[in-house]
Amino acid sequence: MNAPLAERLRPKSLTDYVSQDHLVGKNGILTKHINQGIIPSMILWGPPGTGKTTLANIIAEHSNRPFYTLSAINSGVKDIREVIEKAKQSGGLFTTKNPILFIDEIHRFSKSQQDSLLQAVEKGWVTLIGATTENPSFEVIPALLSRCQVYILNAFEKTDLIALLNRALEKDEQLSKKNIVLKETDALLRLSGGDARKLLNIFELIVVSETSEEIVVTNRLVLDKVQNNTARYDKTGEQHYDIISAFIKSIRGSDPNAAVYWLARMIEGGEDVKFIARRLLILASEDIGNANPTALVIANNTFQAVTAIGNPESRIILSQCATYLACSPKSNAAYQAINTAQALVKQTGDLSVPLDIRNAPTKLMKDLGYGDNYKYAHNYDNNFAPQEFLPEEIKGTTLYTPGNNARENAQKDFLKQRWKTKYGY
């Protein structure tokens, strides 16, 4: 049976690898590791179809190491221990090149399964490469995460995906025999959602189903051939990001009806309820924030509750939280504040902390003026005393601007009374 197009075109070397220049470009961090022969244990984090498995294979090939692979979907602790034992034996006593153990979808491993990897990674019996579409800070246990470098793979750009299609026409033995004209690509790109594997497999589906001598690929042809593509929810990635995006945007847009519909789509599709709850937790701060601080409390309690309860009852708690957040006043002021502050830090660098608000734990520091003239707010009327807390170079800079809603208008009034015109409130 013929392998799918995406498998036939899988790159075998870094020169054939598309995108991810920050990792495998000329000055990429992984390029340097590979050239130096120093491969750390790592977690590759990125959307589906961005080349995580391919990259692991290339790393193993370039470093000339034994390569073992497991899938978290169908592997247990017994399988892990068997592979680790083989890796220990293949590594030998007189080699510095540890075998590589690649684990696909490592976020699906339970705590006990991840625990079983710790000693092998700690002792250097294997170099672990894990692939995940989920945030490893949530899905990988801290002890294992601390022993690994985390590298982020970005979604493919439009130019990358078009380059892959053209490569398929030029390099693939089966497609190169056909007279294919790639006239339009928008539908292909839209249906793939940035997933290169999905893009190539849809493309192959289109061209192999056509019998005409000249196959002209247009948006209409693609949509006609893939009519029901978006009707199905696939928690492994096909519709994973589209549906959660629709869910979040519905809540942000204060539409509880749409929110609960997309929630139902995810639940019926078997989505991890903790994943949904985490996104609600982020939204409660990013999109509601100080307009309704209780939203964050409810979202956090929702995450704790669904973690403890699981399916099927979690659907009720998630519905309560989603509809509450959708009906809550919205503000992204706190989110914008940290974005603005981080941009300012990157622009201005490490500015000195003003002397009067520095800590002075030693006599020398006190003699140098640390903490001099600091005004302890509680010693003044209304627990407030005007003073400068920002570095001299950026004093008076407004980073947080409260939104226009009842709670944040109260915050704005509070700040106006305290700071008068200093920050423009």
Q: What is the pLDDT averaged over residues 51-62?
A: 91
C-alpha distance from residue 407 to each of 66, 291, 323 (Å): 60, 5, 20
Q: What is the pLDDT averaged over residues 15-35?
A: 88
38: Cβ contacts below 8 Å, ≥ 6 apart: none
How many helices and strands in the chain, by DSSP H and E?
Answer: 20, 7
pLDDT above 70: percentage of residues in the chain: 95
The one-character DSSP state at 103 is E
194 close to 161: Cβ distance less than 8 angstroms: yes
Residue 49's pLDDT is what? 85
pLDDT at 232 over 70: no
Residue 106: strand, helix, or coil? helix
Sign (positive/negative) of CA torsion 185, 55, 75, 132?
Answer: negative
Q: What is the pLDDT averaged over residues 106-124?
A: 89
Residue 75's pLDDT is what? 81
Q: What is the pLDDT averaged over residues 388-416?
A: 91
With tokens 């622009």, the residue in question is 347
125 close to 38: Cβ distance less than 8 angstroms: no
Residue 94's pLDDT is what? 41
Residue 237's pLDDT is what? 52
Q: What is the pLDDT averaged over residues 217-239?
A: 67
| Tokens at 225, concatenated | 């051939």
105 close to 71: Cβ distance less than 8 angstroms: yes
Confidence of residue 286 (pLDDT cuts 50, 70, 90): very high
pLDDT at 239 over 70: no
Q: Dihedral angle at the C-alpha atoms of 17, 23, 24, 28, nearest 10 degrees?
A: 160
373: Cβ contacts below 8 Å, ≥ 6 apart: 356, 387
- Least confident stretch, 223-227, 248-252, 288-292, 331-335: 223-227
Sign (positive/negative) of CA torsion 260, 264, 267, 271?
Answer: negative
Which has more pLDDT, 306 or 112? 306
Residue 329: strand, helix, or coil? coil
Sign (positive/negative) of CA torsion 228, 257, 315, 107?
Answer: positive
**How many angstroms separate the most distant Cα atoms in the chain?**
88
**How many whole angstroms separate alpha carbon 237 and alpha carbon 73?**
14
C-beta atoms surrounding 44 within 10 Å: 28
Domains of the chain: 10-152 (3.40.50.300), 158-231 (1.10.8), 253-326 (1.20.272.10), 353-419 (1.10.3710)
Residue 181: strand, helix, or coil? strand
**How many whole angstroms separate alpha carbon 256 and alpha carbon 252?**
10
| Tokens at 274, concatenated | 């903790």
Residue 209's pLDDT is what? 82
